[in-house]
Amino acid sequence: MPRKPSPFPTREQILKFVEDSVTHVGKREIARAFGLNTEQKMKLKKVLKEMKDEGDIESRRGRHLGKPGTLPPVMLVVVTGTDTDGEILARPQTWDEAAEPPKIYMAPERHGQPALGPGERVLARLTAAADGSYEGRTMRRIGSAPPRTLGIFHLVDGQGRLKSTDRRAKGDYVIARGDTAGAQDGDLVRAEVLPGRRIGPKQARVLEVLDSSGGPGSISLIAIHDFGIPMDFSDGALKQAAAAKAAGLDGRDDLRAIPLVTIDGADARDFDDAVFAEADPDKNNKGGWHLIVAIADVAHYVRPGDALDRDALERGNSVYFPDRVVPMLPEDLSNGWCSLVPHEDRPCLAAHMWIDSGGSLKKHTFVRALMKSHARLTYEQAQEARDGAPDETTGVLLDLVITPLYGAYQALNKARHTRGVLELDLPERRVVIGDDGNVDRIEERARLDSHKLIEEFMIAANVAAAETLEKKRQPCMYRIHDEPSMDKMEALRQFLDSLDIPLAKGQVIRSETFNRILEKVHGTPNAEMVNQVVLRSQSQAAYAPDNVGHFGLALRRYCHFTSPIRRYADLLVHRALIRGLQLGDGGLQEDFGDFAHIGETISGFERRAAGAERSAVDRFTALFLADKVGSVFSGRINGVTRFGLFITLDDSGADGLVPIRTLPEDYYIHDEAHHELRGRRTGKTYRLGEKLDVMLMEADPISGSMIMQVLGDGKVPGKETKGRKETAHKEGKPKSRSRAGRRKARAKTAPKTPGKKTGKSTKR
């Protein structure tokens, strides 16, 4: 009697089988799982084709199937770096979809294994999380090209040693006598890690000496080389810059008699913007103002496709370190012909703007001109003059220049508040370098009205530039800042709910929505924590030719026009204005390139620069605190992760890690929604924004890492907890604490013998 055919699976059953399978799935595996006969297999083939056509599943390599946007349970991944909390990120080695792949957070390596580094390939077992990300656990390290590292070369008892700049590196590398490439003690070098035994010191060989000056001057160089920031200009660019000459008045408006002034930081060396304001004489604009923002005419010297242009695009922007600047343009231009130094003629692109008493932009026009800065002022000088204490320079400018500037600023500030600009209250600090190259002090950046004045004048000019380009139908490299994603808003909503701060679902989110939240917590112990979480909920600003507006500034259109010396995006805007307004040579060419690709490129360079600047500040800060190890500081928790707490010290702004193993003995659950670690046995919590006293245990200027320990936990500082190792896990996913459960967990994560079956992972 023939066997009765098995029931044919529904689409939902097929999809669930594909999603739940821990191995690769194809038509054969589905047919076998549901016991299908030959006739049903033909039907299955048709159903699978329909599901693929409708986007329910997709074909992958090797005739495998998967749900779109998801990852298989085992795949080859490439380590890409770390996120802001220090967790190791990876991405699939192959990804054929248009959308970005899901994030993969790699679990820490087993004890004794070196941490994963960028570029390393890993065969990983992946487990999906509720937020769409994945946790990856290393099954086998495939390797890559021999890993390279930066470090400081030392001679220890005649033996070469390399102290890596990578804070994840465990211990020093040994350098054989013939592998030093002539490096001397204290040199910054690039080295290749050599394959070796698991037991014993790691070995490396020096490939090149990057800097032999030694001392604090190497700190910025570490960041420069670590992030691959170009330092040397091409011969063609240097020759072109050296040959630059003064621009004449031909074809330009003459603004030299107008008392334009620059207002910058005391340590600024390139001055790319000058400002002027006067009351608008138009009787129909009572209380209004006429503003001029004059910007260095970089497009006059840097033409599309020439050597200077190629070098500038390779950099994307200038990079600023506490002790130096890596400029986008050679110094003959950035500190010379393109810098609006006082009392010298300089070519400029000037925006004339007229605003009403409420700060709204009524009309504007752009001209190519020749100007002469009447004074180089610092923010402090301008503010002191405004506050009634002018000096020799500002005294003669007070009535004619400074007072009108502040009058126009007050009008612009009204417009800012009317729009509802996102007003985050987060202090910024700067590292001040002394004459000896060491850190003299770390101080909070002043936030004076003079800073805000320049900021508002620049915003007005940027808006005027974007409006002009749209009116003239010219390409525009917008500065875009999209509204927060739904996922980030839901995470913020859950967090605020824990503080009894309502954020209704489905409401239209504007920047002023966040301002109301910040006003509620202003002056409370939760203020800094809420500011941090609101900041982290925001999208990242970027450059793009497609306009989505600027959410943070509450503007429908916005671009960067005011800093072409140090931002390539601004140079593109200048060229588009020159072309659209027919202002002479140096405008965009007919074949002006792929703006979308250029936008992605310079946005990436901007992130690269920001990473390098943070990296250098971390190292200088560690240098500043290196002789204060053992001291006690007050600070706040600024990050909560599965492996510990990140602490920001109150006085210096230094960031350091409190490893989870040093917290009071307990089993800690990582609650992402509430940004906290919570002890399962004691109920002790460590939450974002919480004030703590900590002892500084380590400060390493080479890697920039600082290790701290929370005080008041009854433990001896510097000694790890004996016995069970505490680990943080996701809420609701703790491992078994029983002895049998721990044995079972160890069996699952232990290395598998080749040829033997492995059990299914149940982790997240």
Residue 388 lies inside a defined structural domain of this protein: yes
Final residue in a domain of this structure, among 536, 557, 576: 536
Do 297 and 326 sit in the same domain of this protein? yes
| Contact (CB, 8 A) for 683 and 669 | no
Query: Per-residue confidence at 760, pLDDT binned at 50, 70, 90?
Result: very low
Residue 111 lies inside a defined structural domain of this protein: no
Which CATH number fits the domain that encloses residue 28?
1.10.10.10
- What are the pLDDT digits (tens) for 401-419? 999 999 999 999 999 999 9
Tell which wins on pLDDT, 412 or 761.
412
Final residue in a domain of this structure, among 582, 615, 648: 615
- Section 624-643 average pLDDT: 92
Query: What pLDDT score was predicted for residue 627?
Result: 92
Do 182 and 259 sit in the same domain of this protein? no
SS3 assignment, position 661: helix
Residue 413 lies inside a defined structural domain of this protein: yes
- What are the pLDDT digits (tens) for 20-33? 665 667 888 888 88
Do 524 and 592 sit in the same domain of this protein? no
- What are the pLDDT digits (tens) for 238-297? 999 999 999 999 999 999 999 999 999 998 888 999 999 999 999 999 999 999 999 999
Q: Give the structural domain span for 423.
A: 235-481+542-615
Of 177, 70, 193, 190, which Cα lies nearest the Cα of 134? 70
Alpha-carbon distance of 709 to 718, in angstroms, equals 8
- Give the count of domains, the chain: 5
- Kindly give, in sequence order, each residue whose CB lies less than 8 Å from that of residue 25, ignoring residues fewer than 6 positions away: 17, 18, 64, 65, 66
Final residue in a domain of this structure, among 495, 511, 536: 536
Res. 435: pLDDT tops 60: yes
Of 134, 136, 96, which Cα lies nearest the Cα of 120? 136
Read off the DSSP letter of residue 550: B
Do 498 and 555 sit in the same domain of this protein? no
Instruction: Output the DSSP codes for 354-387.
Output: EE-TT--EEEEEEEEEEEEBSEEEEHHHHHHHHT
- What are the pLDDT digits (tens) for 568-595? 999 999 999 999 999 999 999 888 788 9
Alpha-carbon distance of 669 to 432, in angstroms, equals 40
Alpha-carbon distance of 592 to 274, in angstroms, equals 29
Tell which wins on pLDDT, 133 or 243.
243
Do 587 and 661 sit in the same domain of this protein? no
Do 436 and 320 sit in the same domain of this protein? yes
Do 271 and 353 sit in the same domain of this protein? yes
Tell which wins on pLDDT, 170 or 84.
170
- Section 596-602 average pLDDT: 93
Do 245 and 361 sit in the same domain of this protein? yes
pTM above 0.85, yes or no: no
Residue 696 backbone phi and psi in degrees, to 5: -80, 120
- Section 694-723 average pLDDT: 73
Query: What pLDDT score was predicted for residue 97?
Result: 61
- Section 731-742 average pLDDT: 42
Do 635 and 604 sit in the same domain of this protein? no
Do 363 and 341 sit in the same domain of this protein? yes
Residue 230 lies inside a defined structural domain of this protein: no
Which CATH number fits the domain that encloses residue 634?
2.40.50.140
Residue 103 lies inside a defined structural domain of this protein: no
| Contact (CB, 8 A) for 57 and 15 | yes
Query: Per-residue confidence at 139, pLDDT binned at 50, 70, 90?
Result: confident
Mean pLDDT, the chain, whole residue set = 86
Cβ atoms within 10 Å of 541's Cβ, excluding its own: 16
Res. 117: pLDDT tops 70: yes
Residue 43 backbone phi and psi in degrees, to 5: -65, -40
Query: Per-residue confidence at 115, pLDDT binned at 50, 70, 90?
Result: confident
Res. 382: pLDDT tops 80: yes
Do 645 and 569 sit in the same domain of this protein? no
Residue 385 lies inside a defined structural domain of this protein: yes
Query: Per-residue confidence at 734, pLDDT binned at 50, 70, 90?
Result: very low
Residue 647 lies inside a defined structural domain of this protein: yes
Do 357 and 440 sit in the same domain of this protein? yes
Residue 753 lies inside a defined structural domain of this protein: no
